[in-house]
Chains A and B, each alone.
Chain A
């Protein structure tokens, strides 16, 4: 449907904030003539969202490195630098925001073990980024057949109680954590009408979905070898035999294909469409999505069978998407990225301690959300009293650590970042600061920088 195309600096800033990763010097002025077109451009070339970095390993290499803690930790650090560099390189950063959104949809904590630690980066590069403008079914299957999630949600040792393996490994059984989150978080979502019996059935369907641990590769146990060290493996002898009834249908035991069939069905469900639509609107536009917007976006998901490019383009065309006042606040990680973009600084050049320290005290260390539900999208969870004082303190620390070589003095930088959308109040406050570091920090904590 036709949308009145927004124009001008104010509209451009809103789009950069709401759907991107924050302004870079000159960006707002550059796209002011047609900001929606600029946003659209970022959905047109899906190849641009991929990371081509020869120093990063492929799946097999990353999996191998992720069976040892020290190599996994080193890989995670490299992945994080590549990730932030990619955030910085993007023009507006809509595709990057979608990558962050989907990684949070499948949120995992690297504190779980070395498999998650080493592989979340590769999962994001090769699965999330590859399908961010592709199909949701492919993304779901890619994530589910990946070691990181099977480790994080305890599926790697989930053994069918009547499987061959269970015959001699007494007392072992299946674990329901992954099955539960597939239903409650990843697909149809809580309140979709499934029962505890369905959770238990899905858990049995997913038995045998595992990955090759170090000791299995070393000893050739349970299908492990040096060739598949750390990688996904389906173990038929761990899989629960026989037909399994799940959400009103019976699935024959076709091995791994049984689970794939079920996941395909779940990915296509209108309830999944509603879950995704609700979450996207809440993440990008408002804490309280309106039912008619959710319905419209879910409709696009259903009609295109989960085409995420169509969904993303429909999201930015929802009524109010470009015009609602900025009521949400940038969460800490994206706030740090916005500060790097504003300063034109590669974060690797400055003090890593400032970045990790800020993430620690502001409670958003990347890939360390303790809950599989992922980081909150509610403004109230990030706009707290403790968080506000820390936002001031960490903004000053960022200015000290990373702002020694700025593209311009802070008052000029403010104009380059916000163009004519810079408020007189912020301009005055930045100019009034008694040194450049405080001026920069004031700019970073100003409402036009923080809100979106």
Chain B
């Protein structure tokens, strides 16, 4: 069923990417059976308290993780760098073909909608950025992006979960998904409960049979009925009843679902969209290549999101990040391999847009790090800047709990519009935050803790 019912437009391109690719893209092809781009949405399970009070402060944050390593150099092209065409050879864009962002950078032509947002001051780029660990392994680099820690640490909690743990909690969110999904991405791993919703390419069970099954659960298993009903409600809301989402790829379905859920009055305010498939090892191409196909989907997804989130757009920051960039030189398969510095894309009504923020390290061979674009901005600085200005998270909390060991990394300021700043300071809400562990507490540790407590009482 998978082969003939997979309608994802990127599947064929993924196949090309995997043909000479690394572990990740080949797995996508061979064992994920042409899943295409897959996207899963995960969000905080409670409303922040400020969203319930009439403070006028009700920001939305969507972190999009583009997995596989986005080629920042051909996404936001440094035409002003004299080495660009030499290094990128057959996959170098001509200046005339890209969308001018400023005198130096041009945007990949597959992203005209993002380009329009940039022109309208609602999108920005941070270039030559990367998470702190730089070792070219997807597994380790994604771990590092999501744990927010300075180096490699196995079994750590995620930085966004550590933030949620500290967040003043309001009412539970009832619109989307289930509490504590086993498979939430690492960035959301930890004690704060998480909701999940993902658009799959599986044909949904028809209403008649679903009705039969509901009756069965009602008679035998109320807990399963409760979860099923919650899931059906979330699906209906996220996929927009009567919409034409059914024919779209899962990436766009993911963005559209995210917008509908984040737009709901009692819906989540902080969410993560995890997207696979950016590992462009071969036939990366120009206008019709792998990368353009991926970016085209992303561009449409962001535009869908903007349209569907409605009025909340003005209070929204969408932050698209990836684990690393790609080699500056083209490989033998007209693709690029795992690299370091890359671009982070920001979009949203709350973004102070219209600019590319970069301390450009240059593409001259002497300035490269083992053939890769250097990263002059630690990705944590971008995260900290957005959290500081958009959610008004106190600097001390960012340095101590959300990104421990990052006191030396100053938040990148000015990414968020000052008009979106809170009217009543949310900082006050964080005044006495709950501490979050750097490693999740195991069930055994909880059990032992309870035993010790019981022993003390006895």
Q: CB within 8 Å of B: which residues of A?
A: 69-70, 73, 77, 109-114, 117, 153-154, 175, 177, 180-181, 184-185, 189-192, 274-275, 278-279, 282, 289, 291, 294, 331, 351-354, 356-358, 360-365, 370-373, 375-378, 380-390, 392-397, 400-401, 423, 425-426, 429, 432-434, 438, 441-442, 445-448, 450-451
Taking A353-B34, A386-B197, A386-B231 as given, write out 11 further A-B residue pairs in contact, using a Cβ cutoff of 8 Å, ordered by the A residue number.
Answer: A77-B30, A154-B152, A361-B202, A365-B31, A378-B180, A380-B179, A383-B224, A388-B227, A393-B204, A400-B1, A447-B224
Decide if A360 touches B32 in the complex (CB within 8 Å): yes
Decide if A442 touches B202 in the complex (CB within 8 Å): no
The residue on B at minimum CB distance from A387 is: B178
Q: Residue B38 at the A interface, CB < 8 A?
A: yes
Decide if B201 touches A357 in the complex (CB within 8 Å): yes
How many angstroms from the CA of A244 to the CA of B348 in the assembled complex? Answer: 56
Partner of B181, one of A112, A352, A381, A433: A381
Decide if B23 touches A69 in the complex (CB within 8 Å): yes
How many angstroms from the CA of A153 to the CA of B6 in the assembled complex? Answer: 36
Closest CB in chain B relative to A175 CB, distance in Å? 8
How many angstroms from the CA of A451 to the CA of B440 in the assembled complex? Answer: 27
The residue on B at minimum CB distance from A424 is: B219
Which of B48-56, B206-214, B396-404, B426-434 contacts its partner? B206-214
Decide if B200 touches A357 in the complex (CB within 8 Å): yes
Decide if A73 touches B30 in the complex (CB within 8 Å): yes
Decide if B202 touches A390 in the complex (CB within 8 Å): yes
Decide if B206 touches A438 in the complex (CB within 8 Å): yes
Query: Which of B6, B139, B209 has its CB near the most chain A CB atoms (within 10 A)?
Result: B209
Decide if A190 touches B442 in the complex (CB within 8 Å): yes
Known: A177-B154, A361-B202, A386-B231. A111 touches B24 (CB 8 A): yes
Which of B102-110, B115-123, B182-190, B291-299 contacts its partner? B182-190
Closest CB in chain B relative to A82 CB, distance in Å? 15
Partner of A392, one of B139, B180, B205, B234: B205
Residues on B with C-beta less than 8 A from A390 are 198, 200, 202, 231
Decide if A433 touches B449 in the complex (CB within 8 Å): no
Query: Which of A70, A382, A389, A450 has its CB near the most chain B CB atoms (within 10 A)?
Result: A389
How many angstroms from the CA of A389 to the CA of B139 in the assembled complex? Answer: 29
Closest CB in chain A relative to B264 CB, distance in Å? 15
Known: A356-B32, A383-B227, A389-B228. A434 touches B137 (CB 8 A): no
Closest CB in chain B relative to A424 CB, distance in Å? 9
Contact with A along B133-170 (1 / 0, CB 8 A): 00001110001000000001111000000000000000
Residues on A with C-beta less than 8 A from B260 are none
Decide if A397 touches B202 in the complex (CB within 8 Å): yes
Decide if A377 touches B154 in the complex (CB within 8 Å): no
Known: A275-B444, A438-B206. A357 touches B35 (CB 8 A): yes
Closest CB in chain B relative to A10 CB, distance in Å? 14
Q: Residue B287 at the A interface, CB < 8 A?
A: no
Known: A351-B1, A445-B213. A77 touches B183 (CB 8 A): no
Residues on A with C-beta less than 8 A from B139 are 109, 111-113
Decide if A384 touches B227 in the complex (CB within 8 Å): yes
How many angstroms from the CA of A189 to the CA of B24 in the assembled complex? Answer: 32
Partner of B212, one of A70, A73, A364, A429: A429
Known: A154-B152, A380-B179, A384-B196. A191 touches B449 (CB 8 A): yes
Residues on B with C-beta less than 8 A from A358 are 202
Known: A111-B138, A189-B445. A387 touches B227 (CB 8 A): yes
Closest CB in chain A relative to B137 CB, distance in Å? 7
Q: Residue B244 at the A interface, CB < 8 A?
A: no
Residues on A with C-beta less than 8 A from B35 are 356-357, 360
Decide if B451 touches A423 in the complex (CB within 8 Å): no
How many angstroms from the CA of A352 to the CA of B229 in the assembled complex? Answer: 30
The contact sample of 24 A-B pairs, CB cut-off 8 A, is A77-B31, A114-B23, A154-B154, A184-B155, A184-B439, A192-B448, A351-B3, A353-B3, A354-B1, A360-B35, A360-B38, A362-B183, A380-B179, A382-B182, A385-B230, A386-B197, A387-B181, A387-B231, A388-B178, A388-B228, A392-B204, A392-B205, A429-B215, A434-B209
Q: CB within 8 Å of A: which residues of B?
A: 1-3, 6, 22-24, 26-27, 30-35, 38, 137-139, 143, 152-155, 177-183, 186, 189, 196-198, 200-206, 208-210, 212-213, 215-217, 219-221, 223-224, 227-235, 439-445, 447-449, 451
Closest CB in chain A relative to B4 CB, distance in Å? 10
Residues on B with C-beta less than 8 A from A357 are 2, 32-33, 35, 200-202
The residue on A at minimum CB distance from B250 is: A361
Residues on B with C-beta less than 8 A from A77 are 30-31
Partner of A442, one of B6, B30, B216, B233: B216
The residue on B at minimum CB distance from A366 is: B31
Decide if A397 touches B444 in the complex (CB within 8 Å): no
Partner of B203, one of A180, A396, A426, A445: A396
Closest CB in chain B relative to A36 CB, distance in Å? 26
Partner of A425, one of B143, B189, B216, B440: B216
How many angstroms from the CA of A387 to the CA of B200 in the assembled complex? Answer: 11
How many angstroms from the CA of A378 to the CA of B213 in the assembled complex? Answer: 24
Decide if B154 touches A181 in the complex (CB within 8 Å): yes
Known: A181-B155, A373-B442, A432-B212. A397 touches B227 (CB 8 A): no
How many angstroms from the CA of A185 to the CA of B155 in the assembled complex? Answer: 10
Residues on A with C-beta less than 8 A from B204 are 389, 392-393
Residues on A with C-beta less than 8 A from B33 are 351-354, 356-357
Decide if A373 touches B155 in the complex (CB within 8 Å): yes
Residues on A with C-beta less than 8 A from B232 are 389
Partner of B2, one of A180, A353, A370, A377: A353
Closest CB in chain B relative to A53 CB, distance in Å? 20
Partner of B177, one of A154, A386, A447: A386
Known: A360-B35, A393-B205, A434-B209. A386 touches B2 (CB 8 A): no
Decide if A446 touches B202 in the complex (CB within 8 Å): no
Query: Which of A154, A191, A385, A392 has its CB near the most chain B CB atoms (within 10 A)?
Result: A385
Residues on B with C-beta less than 8 A from A433 are 209, 212
Decide if A113 touches B451 in the complex (CB within 8 Å): no
Decide if A361 touches B209 in the complex (CB within 8 Å): no
How many angstroms from the CA of A400 to the CA of B30 in the assembled complex? Answer: 21
Query: Which of B6, B155, B440, B449 has its CB near the most chain A CB atoms (within 10 A)?
Result: B155
Closest CB in chain A relative to B227 CB, distance in Å? 4
Known: A385-B227, A397-B1. A153 touches B154 (CB 8 A): yes
How many angstroms from the CA of A114 to the CA of B139 in the assembled complex? Answer: 12
Residues on B with C-beta less than 8 A from A353 are 1-3, 6, 33-34
Residues on A with C-beta less than 8 A from B231 are 384-390
How many angstroms from the CA of A114 to the CA of B26 in the assembled complex? Answer: 12
